């Protein structure tokens, strides 16, 4: 009997534990979310700045939260976590305009994105970079809600290739 009581106390804690930002993605039971990335140029040179654009397509009827949530909603914030790489990030990720959403699943007003969310960040190629192909890898961490329920935190990995050339 004591075993069942302890299992009942521990299981909910494990079910809602926040995953490590780089843990393996689990099977998604939430909405269809598609992630597309592109760079503002085909080739960058040492000393150049370039931008990475991320477009997130969100299944109709669902929303994800802003990178900059309203006060009191910090645990709902979408995050973009980038692995260490050779490029110098110029600033924090920026996002497309958000909407105020009456989120019945959270029973509060939230800032979020419906249908599409777009994000971008600027990077600089270090002066001493050699020519070749490099990558920027990371994960989009988000929670999605449909006004009835919210997913547990979800993770979508990404990897974008950057070609660095040599100035002639």
Does 105 score more than 50 pLDDT?
A: yes
pLDDT at 29: 56
- Is 19 part of a structural domain of the chain? no
For 1, what's the count of Cα atoms within 13 Å in the CB-facing half-sphere?
0
Query: What percent of the chain has pLDDT above 70?
Result: 82
Mean predicted confidence (pLDDT) in 92-109: 92
Query: pTM, whole model, 2 decimals?
Result: 0.78
pLDDT at 11: 40
In 3D space, the residue among 37, 31, 39, 17 whose CA is nearest the CA of residue 80 turns out to be 37
- Is 140 part of a structural domain of the chain? yes
Its domain, for residue 69, covers 30-164
Q: Give the CATH number, domain containing residue 54.
A: 2.60.40.1250
pLDDT at 9: 41
The string of pLDDT tens digits covering residues 123-167 is 999 999 999 999 999 999 999 999 889 899 999 999 999 999 988
Query: What percent of the chain has pLDDT above 90?
Result: 65
Does 21 score more than 80 pLDDT?
A: no
- Is 39 part of a structural domain of the chain? yes
- Is 16 part of a structural domain of the chain? no
- Is 25 part of a structural domain of the chain? no
Question: What's the domain count of the chain?
Answer: 1
- Is 22 part of a structural domain of the chain? no
The string of pLDDT tens digits covering residues 23-40 is 333 334 568 899 999 999
Does 42 score more than 70 pLDDT?
A: yes
pLDDT-derived band at 86 (thresholds 50, 70, 90) equals very high
pLDDT at 166: 87
- Is 18 part of a structural domain of the chain? no
Average pLDDT of the chain?
A: 84
pLDDT at 131: 95
- Is 92 part of a structural domain of the chain? yes
pLDDT at 157: 97
pLDDT at 19: 39
């Amino acid at each position: 009997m004591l075993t069942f009581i302890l299992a009942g106390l521990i299981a909910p804690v494990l079910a809602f534990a926040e995953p490590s930002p780089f843990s393996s993605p689990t099977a998604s039971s939430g909405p269809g979310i598609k992630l597309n990335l592109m760079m503002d140029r085909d080739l960058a040179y040492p000393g150049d700045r370039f931008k990475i654009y991320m477009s997130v397509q969100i299944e109709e009827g669902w929303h994800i939260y802003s990178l900059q949530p309203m006060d009191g909603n910090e645990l709902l914030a979408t995050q973009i976590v980038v692995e260490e790489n050779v490029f110098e990030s110029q600033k924090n990720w920026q996002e497309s305009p958000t909407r105020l959403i009456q989120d019945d699943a959270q029973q509060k007003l939230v800032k979020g994105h419906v249908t599409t969310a777009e994000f971008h960040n600027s990077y600089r190629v270090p002066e001493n970079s050699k020519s070749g192909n490099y990558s920027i890898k990371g994960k989009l961490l988000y929670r999605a809600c449909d006004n009835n329920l919210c997913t547990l935190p979800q993770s979508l990995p990404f990897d974008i290739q950057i070609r660095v050339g040599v100035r002639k």
